[in-house]
Structure 1
Amino acid sequence: MAQVTGTVSSTTDVFSAVREMAIEFRFMPGAKINETELAEELGVSRTPVREALNRLVTEDLIDFRKNYGFFCRTLDLEDVLHLAEAYKTFHLSILPIVFARAGKAEVEALLASTQQMAAHGNDMPPCEMARADQAFLHDITMLTKNPVMVQINGSISARIRFLRKVMLEGYVCKRAYFRNQQSVLELILAGDEVEATKVFADYLTIDASEAEKALARGLGRIYLKAAH
């Protein structure tokens, strides 16, 4: 069972806490979630826990099986490859809309933020890099001015964050990673959609070999924590 520090005090807090557990696989992949134990750990009744789990089912972060209850989503290579494909395909599909709708000032503001990240990237731990990765894709998606696309991005990014975090641990020069973000934004400002698509595709690509290695490391970490 996942471990938390302290207790939570509101329905929103419960949802946020349980969502973070699901994203980070603090529940064992494929394991049944004990609502009573989880409620006790969070210091709340089962009602807000059940509400949180139901909401997370709609985000595909938790599985529900009729007559059996709630389960942590699985984490196997097929799942990871499907998610990686959806992650890349979706974000590449929004790029033409970004070119059509993004304002210059908006892109310049994102570029300034990314430049600051690049300047300090080597000091950033993988968990923060994964969040920065999510934030960058959220900001790019916001440039479409389409709230449904923003919602889709949030779902995909949350489901892939654990894998991305494990992958980012292998980056020796983290500044170069953030410079890739910077290049995408500079090309948007320059109006070069063809080159921006190439750079963005490289940024988003997770090949099968890379995914398999990250999955093995991630599963090893999950089961090692469970053993302790």
Structure 2
Amino acid sequence: MADNNVDRLTAHLRRMAADFEIRPEERIREGAMAKALSVSRTPLREALNRLVSEGYMTFTPGQGFFCRALTPEQILDLYEARAAVECEALRLASHRASAADIAAIAAQLDTIEPLYEETTDRLTLLNMDEDFHLALVRLSRNAELERMLVNINGRIRYVRMIGLKMTRQQGATTGRMKAHRAILDALRDGDLDAALTALRDHIAMRKEDAAQAVRNAFSQIYVRAG
């Protein structure tokens, strides 16, 4: 039961950190947080330590726990890690995925495309996008790669949500669905080089884009907090 309680607390704090309900580099005041969440400090510390290992929190001896920083350099690192994970998964999928597996993802794209084009809810857009990329990684039959992508997705989730909001406001939505189809079509056709190129082009982030994404995220975090 104790482990279940820590699991639930960890999931709750992970969501808070992912959404930057705890501001970047903000110190966690354990006593106040334990009181606010109606938990004791022992399970709170265990949950915080788990999130340190996952990259959502940091720990400084003598000072305590802090929410992770939000910098262009860290966002670029995460996007490069995402590209490495997804590209390796795609290489494995090219040997391990069946035609039926690939067809199932294509059918799912057909199902969600009308909603993807029409919805204005950025969380819905993000969930659909993440679902596609996770489905691709699952074709690799490698649970560790899937676990790694889930972790990376959580740590870039807020920045991506803000980016999708900006994209939606600019009316640029069809390109992402076309990119998904290009990746899947190349994989189905056995053209791994084309699939990898389409995937890299789709998820790559430039330095200036990362800087703008962080500025946009900070503006939303502090406007929300105000």
- TM-score, with normalisation over the residues of structure 2? 0.89
User: Does the 8 A contact of 1:77 with 1:215 survive in 2?
Assistant: yes
1:1-228 to 2 correspondence within 5 Å?
Answer: 10-121=5-116, 122-171=118-167, 172-227=171-226
Distance 1:105 1:67 in 2: 55
Distance 2:190 2:206 in 1: 28
Give the secondary structure class of the aligned counterpart of 1:85.
helix
Give the secondary structure class of the aligned counterpart of 1:145.
coil
User: Does the 8 A contact of 2:18 with 2:154 survive in 1?
Assistant: yes
Give the secondary structure class of the aligned counterpart of 1:113.
helix
Distance 1:194 1:76 in 2: 32
Which residue type is aligned with residue 142 of structure 2?
Answer: N
Distance 1:13 1:126 in 2: 25
- The residue aligned with 1:5 is none
Structure 1 gap segments, 5+ residues each: 1-8
Q: 1:103 to 1:222 in 2, by over 3 A?
A: same
User: Does the 8 A contact of 2:162 with 2:216 survive in 1?
Assistant: yes
User: Does the 8 A contact of 1:115 with 1:179 survive in 2?
Assistant: no
Give the secondary structure class of the aligned counterpart of 2:23.
coil
Which residue type is aligned with residue 119 of structure 2?
Answer: D
Q: Deviation per CA, 1:119-165: give whole Å up to 9, x if none.
A: 21131422222232322222211111112211221222211111111
RMSD: 1.8
1:11 offset after TM fit, Å? 3.2
User: Does the 8 A contact of 1:64 with 1:70 survive in 2?
Assistant: yes
Q: Deviation per CA, 1:67-94: give whole Å up to 9, x if none.
A: 2211000011221222222222332232
- TM-score, with normalisation over the residues of structure 1? 0.88
User: Does the 8 A contact of 1:57 with 1:63 survive in 2?
Assistant: yes
User: Does the 8 A contact of 1:120 with 1:175 survive in 2?
Assistant: no
User: Does the 8 A contact of 1:134 with 1:161 survive in 2?
Assistant: no
User: Does the 8 A contact of 1:118 with 1:176 survive in 2?
Assistant: no
Aligned residues: 219
Which residue type is aligned with residue 204 of structure 2?
Answer: T
Percent identity over the alignment is 28
Q: 1:38 to 1:119 in 2, by over 3 A?
A: same
